[in-house]
């Protein structure tokens, strides 16, 4: 699955993204999830729940999909 994630601010953390996409149930689960699953940010493995994701970044979550971070344009 490929999906675009639109953010309001300048960035979203990896842990927040996982929670908002219902990959994990709570923010506290992010640390453990990232230690047990090979999540890639921009084609590099990353297990930091605080990793800042900006417009143009991509996140690949095994057995879930590929996510593209986009900034919501002001109207």
Element (H, E) at 44: strand 44-45
**Strands lying side by side in the sheet with 40-41:** 2-7, 65-71, 58-61, 40-41, 44-45
Q: Angle at CA 39, nearest 5°, toward 21 and 3?
A: 40
pLDDT value, residue 21:
96
User: Which CATH number is correct for 2-71, 3.60.10.10, 3.30.479.10, 3.30.70.20, 3.10.290.10?
Assistant: 3.10.290.10
Segment 26-74, tens digit of pLDDT: 988 999 999 999 999 999 999 999 999 999 999 999 999 999 999 987 6
Is the pLDDT score of 75 beyond 60?
Answer: no
Domain boundaries, the chain: 2-71
């Amino acid at each position: 699955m490929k999906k675009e994630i639109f953010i309001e601010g300048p960035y979203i953390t990896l842990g927040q993204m996982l929670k908002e996409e219902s990959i994990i149930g709570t923010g506290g689960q992010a640390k453990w999830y990232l230690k047990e699953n090979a999540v890639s940010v921009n084609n590099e493995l990353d297990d930091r729940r605080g990793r800042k994701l900006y417009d143009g970044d991509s996140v690949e979550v095994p057995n879930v999909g590929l996510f593209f971070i986009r900034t919501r344009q002001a109207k």
